[in-house]
């Protein structure tokens, strides 16, 4: 059977004469946009995502102040069965929550740069659990590869738009499972 290359499906694969990946994640979307209408709906979206996350997944959350990054992270914690509240780690940079998987929730809004990041050991944390990073732009080029990048924009009132982009095959798998739910 002859594989047909399409720009969307096989971008960046097949290098070094390696056969292109043709599993189910390749047919999944690379990007999707979802909308919520309240803080509770934002937490529910995070919970749906958290229920699907596993150790090694890295989720980067971008958006202006007050757009819902922490609300989404709270839902992710709930989806990972983390007891207790998931709060923004603004002053401590990283909070750890233990549930079905460890959740490492980082807020880099006050990070001084790459020095802070190497001390935090975010790469090691990403391997041992789920890493969720708020304000990843403060450490561009110094973070583990993202499974999902989520850009949040505030619309009218409490409405929020979430632009989810897959960073790899695992991210495409997550996007597909969220779209089917």
Q: What is the pLDDT of residues 124-168, one digit of tens each?
A: 777 889 999 988 887 777 777 888 999 999 877 889 999 999 999
Domain boundaries, the chain: 32-180
How far apart, in whole angstroms, are the C-alpha atoms of residue 138 and residue 148? 17
Model confidence pLDDT, tens digit, residues 50-100: 999 999 999 999 988 888 899 999 999 999 999 988 887 766 778 889 999
- Closest residue by Cα to residue 30 from 14, 7, 47: 7
Quote the tokens at residue 151.
């850009």
CATH classification for the domain delimited by 32-180, as one of 3.40.50.2000, 3.30.420.40, 3.90.1150.10, 3.40.50.300: 3.40.50.300
How far apart, in whole angstroms, are the C-alpha atoms of residue 105 and residue 98? 11
* CB-based contact 151:68 (threshold 8 Å): no
Q: With 80 as the cut, is the pLDDT of residue 21 above it?
A: no
How far apart, in whole angstroms, are the C-alpha atoms of residue 32 and residue 109? 26
> Which residue's entry shows tokens 């969220």?
178
Single pTM value for the model: 0.78
Quote the tokens at residue 148.
């999902």
Instruction: Please tell me whether residue 149 adopts helix, strand or coil conformation.
Output: strand
């Amino acid at each position: 059977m002859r594989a047909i290359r399409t720009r969307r499906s096989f971008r960046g694969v097949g290098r070094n004469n390696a056969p292109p990946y043709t599993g189910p994640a390749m047919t999944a979307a690379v990007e999707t946009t979802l909308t919520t209408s309240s803080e509770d709906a934002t937490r529910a979206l995070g919970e749906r995502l958290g229920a699907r996350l596993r150790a090694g997944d890295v989720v980067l959350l971008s958006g202006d102040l007050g757009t819902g990054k922490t609300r989404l992270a709270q839902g992710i914690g709930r989806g990972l069965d983390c007891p207790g509240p998931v709060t923004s780690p603004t002053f401590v940079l990283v909070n750890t929550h233990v549930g079905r998987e460890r959740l490492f929730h980082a807020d880099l809004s006050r990070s001084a740069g790459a020095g802070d990041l190497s001390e935090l050991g975010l790469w090691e944390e990403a391997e041992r659990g789920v890493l969720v990073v708020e304000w990843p732009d403060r450490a561009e080029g110094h973070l583990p590869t993202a499974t999902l990048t989520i850009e949040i924009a505030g619309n009218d009132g409490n409405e929020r738009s979430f632009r989810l982009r897959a960073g790899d095959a695992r991210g495409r798998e997550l996007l597909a499972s969220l779209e089917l739910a």
